[in-house]
Structure 1
Amino acid sequence: MIRVENISRTYGSGESEVNALKNVTLTIKENEFVAIMGTSGSGKSTLMNVLGCLDTPSSGEYFLSGESIKSIDDVTLSKIRNNKIGFIFQTFHLLPRLTALHNVILPLRYSDVEQAEAESRGAVMLEKVGLSSRSHHKPFEMSGGQRQRVAIARALVNNPKVIFADEPTGNLDSKTSFEIMNLLCELHKQGQTIVMVTHEEDIAAYAQRVIRMKDGEVIGDTACTE
């Protein structure tokens, strides 16, 4: 599913140069649930941005579903993000004026999907995350956990190859975090590939595998025990 070979990412130059990633090599298989951990400045967010095609490496190779991402133009990268990748963010990134349903179907606006079909698919995704009854509610009318479920439904609506979750429980209380992680685990059991950034050990423990980073390098890659 994902293969990176000796990727590095450098920002700035001269005295202000920052080596955010240093020769990272790893593989993530289809239907894996992987957590990427590290302190602030470890490179975990930069790695997720590169894997999610939000950023490009300064050097090295990145293959997504067997396709090299190197030298791909911005328009093609945008299509890859829309068709193959789903994103879940810590701060939800929902549009406040739109209902849950219309937030979910936003990615379909950039695809050749008729409105009726988009709304039908959106309704199915909201049902999948247990929010059918909230489809016409706006974000301010929902709890944090419900908003994150809407964000998960939005990430799923294009049937992505992989979901990237950036601190998906960072703004949630313990009980709601437990519910969201159980939902992600259920999606994984249904065949979804998930790559999650977190700084919390108890959240990382839900994954099959934990990749640990420090100073832009992978320092550990271990399977989680049941």
Structure 2
Amino acid sequence: MIELRNVTRVYGHGESKVVAIDNVSLDIATNEFVAIMGQSGSGKSSMMNILGALDSPTSGEYHLSGTSIQQMDDISLSRIRNEKIGFIFQTFHLLPRLTALENVIVPLRYSHYTPEEALEIGKSMLDKVGLTSRAHHKPFEMSGGQRQRVAIARALVNSPKVIFADEPTGNLDTKTSYEIMDLLVSLHQQGQTIVLVTHEEDIAEYAQRIIRMRDGKIIEDTKCVA
């Protein structure tokens, strides 16, 4: 699913030069659930941006589901993000004036579905995350956990090859965090590939595999004990 080969990401020049990713190679298979961990400045956020086609490596090769990513222009990268990737963010990124259902189907505005088809798909995604009853509520009418479920439904709506979850429990209390992680585990068991960035050990342990980063390098790559 994901293949990185000798990927480096450099920001700035001269004395301000920062090597955020330092010659990293990595493989993530279809239907893996992987957590990426590291302290602030470790490179995990830069890694997520590259994996999610939000940024391009300075050098090296990145293949996502057989497609070479590193030389794509912005339009092509946008198409890849819409067709192959689902994002879940710490701060949800829901549009405040839209209902839960309307937020879920936003990505479908850029696809071939009719409005009626988009609504049906959106409803099925809300049902999948247990939020059918909140379809017509706006974000301010929902709890943090419910908003994150809406964000997960939105991430699923285009049947992505992989979901990237960037600190998805960072704004949630402990009980709600575990509920969201149980939902991600359920999606993984249904065949979804998931890459999670977190700084919390108990959250990372929900994954099958934990990758630890420091100074832009992978320093540890371990399988979790079931």
Category of TM-score, reference length = shorter chain: over 0.9
Inter-partner Cα distance in structure 2 for 1:217 and 1:192: 26
Partner of 1:190: 190
**SS across alignment from 2:183:** helix
User: 5+ unaligned residues in a row in structure 2: which ranges?
Assistant: none
Partner of 1:15: 15
Partner of 1:92: 92
Residues 131-172 of structure 1, C-alpha deviations (whole Å, 9 max, x = no match)? 000000000000000000000000000000000000000000
Structure 1 residue 72: Cα displacement: 1.2
Partner of 2:108: 108
Q: Which runs of 4+ in 1 moved over 3 A?
A: none
Partner of 2:131: 131
Inter-partner Cα distance in structure 2 for 1:97 and 1:179: 26
Inter-partner Cα distance in structure 1 for 2:67 and 2:154: 24
Structure 1 residue 113: Cα displacement: 1.2
Inter-partner Cα distance in structure 1 for 2:70 and 2:39: 28
- Match of 2:175, as an amino acid? K
- So what's the TM-score if we normalise by structure 1? 0.99
Partner of 2:65: 65
Matches within 5 A, 1:157-168: 157-168=157-168
Partner of 1:46: 46
- Match of 1:155, as an amino acid? A
- Match of 1:219, as an amino acid? I
Partner of 2:202: 202
**Alignment partner of 1:74 is 2:74:** yes
Partner of 1:2: 2
* Aligned positions, number: 226
Inter-partner Cα distance in structure 2 for 1:24 and 1:98: 40
**SS across alignment from 1:19:** strand
Residues 63-90 of structure 1, C-alpha deviations (whole Å, 9 max, x = no match)? 0011111211111110000000000000
**SS across alignment from 1:40:** coil
Inter-partner Cα distance in structure 1 for 2:30 and 2:64: 11
**SS across alignment from 1:92:** coil
Structure 1 residue 114: Cα displacement: 0.7
Inter-partner Cα distance in structure 2 for 1:149 and 1:204: 19
**SS across alignment from 2:221:** strand
**SS across alignment from 1:48:** helix
- The share of aligned pairs that are identical, in percent, is 72
Structure 1 residue 51: Cα displacement: 0.4
Partner of 1:218: 218
Inter-partner Cα distance in structure 2 for 1:204 and 1:162: 17
User: 5+ unaligned residues in a row in structure 1: which ranges?
Assistant: none
Partner of 2:24: 24
Inter-partner Cα distance in structure 2 for 1:67 and 1:94: 29
Please report the RMSD computed on the Cα atoms of aligned residues, expressed in angstroms.
Answer: 0.4
Inter-partner Cα distance in structure 1 for 2:151 and 2:207: 20
- Match of 2:94, as an amino acid? L
- Match of 1:30, as an amino acid? T
Inter-partner Cα distance in structure 2 for 1:40 and 1:52: 19
